[in-house]
Structure 1
Amino acid sequence: MTRPLLALTTGEPAGIGPELVLAAARRWDGLEAEVVAVGDPDMLAERARALGWPVEVVACRPDEPLPPIRDDHLPVWPVPLARRSIPGRLDPANAGYVLATLDVAIDACRRGAADAMVTAPLHKGAIIEGGHPGFTGHTEYLRDACGVDEVVMMLATDRTARPLRVALATTHLPLAEVAGAITTDGLMRVTIILAEELTRCFAIPAPRIVVCGLNPHAGEDGHLGREELDVINPALERLRAMGIDVIGPLPADTLFTPRHLAHADAVLAMYHDQGLPVLKYAGFGQAANITLGLGMVRTSVDHGTALDLAGTGLADAGSLRVALQVARQMTARVH
């Protein structure tokens, strides 16, 4: 295939997203892809000057060919800020700008003008305060924009003896709502997407998925909660009958040990802070956030906006580089 085109959104303008994009552009590290940023080119050029980085920011039209990728050069599909942004200072007036960058990248992927989208971090609070009260995150926004019923959030790192991939049965929910959100049918849908995408995007022909229980000790036969008996086990039994290789439910406090992970292609955790702290401990800054089930490739960083680092040039672009590489690898397999 020809070199894929990755549309890279610049995220919350007051956070580290813009300078991560600029840092990536300073040294593309042999990335076998073309990259176009989506954001405000004047803001990016201003940040580059403030940091003393010799990155040439060039506004491009989405319908024109991009120049070949080269270090210290950043083509940009322009989206104008609503108001000039200052590093470290959130401004809800720019909430619509952040969402507009996503819309441009999504549209490009859906009509074939881009092969994948990669996203720098956004700030949920700023978007909510900017007039979007129902916003809960990239994952859910992309799901709705792509018109699909279910997507799966998965983080992955290769900074372990075997690649560690952790998918989530639920995403950005208050902990008090998690148990009620886990259903047999919902777990089946998530696991089917996970298994299909591991095969399609990661070339794993028969993925083995290890599943966490919800409760301590996986419920201990109903003495510490019945969700394993009433909800999770029935889902796993039906999945096995479909030929999907699922193990569990296992206690989350012992699942993430070499004995259980040695032959696992992915872990399915029941909620955000059950599985992701382990993955981020193992590979923080060297992991990618991947949305499965969209019908297109989307990856992102494994961290937030780090407002305290914005404008300093000290933010580590490692996770963004991983997200770009993973997006390139996934596009090579699905096209």
Structure 2
Amino acid sequence: MTTQTATSAVPDEQPLLEVSGLSKTYKAKGGGLRPRSRPEVKALHDVSFDIVRGETVGLVGESGSGKSTAASCVLRLVEPDAGSIRFDGIDVRGLPRGELRRLRARMQMVFQDPYGSLDPRFSVRELVEEPLLVHGERDEATRRDRAVQMLERVGLSAAQAERNAHAFSGGQRQRIAIARALVMNPDLVVLDEPVTALDVSVQAQVLNLLTSLQRELNLTYLFIVHDLAVAQYLCHRIAVMYRGEIVELATAQELFARPLHPYTVTLLMAAPVPDPDVMDARRSVFQDPATAQGDGTAQGCPLRPRCPVGAQRAACATSHPALREVAPGHKAACHFPGEMLTTTTAPLGGAPSSL
């Protein structure tokens, strides 16, 4: 499958989802300390983004950057500490539990693990029917018909509906999970790394399925992903996250053509190419987090200990950069946006051209 940048959504349309100032802090686990004595882990800090109808926005970053926490907060599977979440004009954080449950019929999630997210005790039909039953559809024939129709829409047959999930491959299980999420005809689907556990060839099939379903059903996606090649293929816009913050936000086309934040440049440099000299040159540019000295402070830029642009700059040591619009529709949280591309001689390359 050849990588293609998704077509940009209409920029002036009223957002379906608006997230502003989202923050979440956890207490670190273990260590033999009482909860009050455990250090805090800031999973999210002042995260803001929006998604218009029919658009796919990707949250990209390394493990622990806060992508999945942000997605869970959007659905209120995790309660944020601060910030606002508005879905189709509705204040999600202000909803009582009963109203939130009804709203969730319009906001569904596909999880990363197609093996752990499906109960092996139920048939495929029962798994896909279950959301209909939970949300009040009591007519058994209606549930059965809608479940079978959705299974066929994701590429499975009616004859497979009575088999249990353990009889299917990983790619087929993920199709079942997608059918289960879409049977309620949701407006927003949160995709939490839905192809990470799949073989590359199966990834391509599932991504093509998600693309066609979005077009046919006018779906809106929040796509959690760490693979930039996958993000480039599926996403209209991409938000790059580092240590719980969005450090860059732009259209997929602009992000790959002109990355402004040093961390985004690093992610692009991490894309493997069949040339060891190029990979060695890339690795020498940016410090590995295991060898970097210090962690960055709340006052300064959290990336500074690893960053060749800001390591010796006073502004980066004393001032935390805010996410701001550097070019039309292109935001970056950096005091010196775009400078890394002009100072490094290591070839950038970009994401692989195929999956």
TM-score, reference length from structure 1? 0.30
TM-score, reference length from structure 2? 0.28
Q: Computing the radius of gyration over CA atoms, which structure comes out larger, 1 or 2?
A: 2
- Higher helix proportion: 1
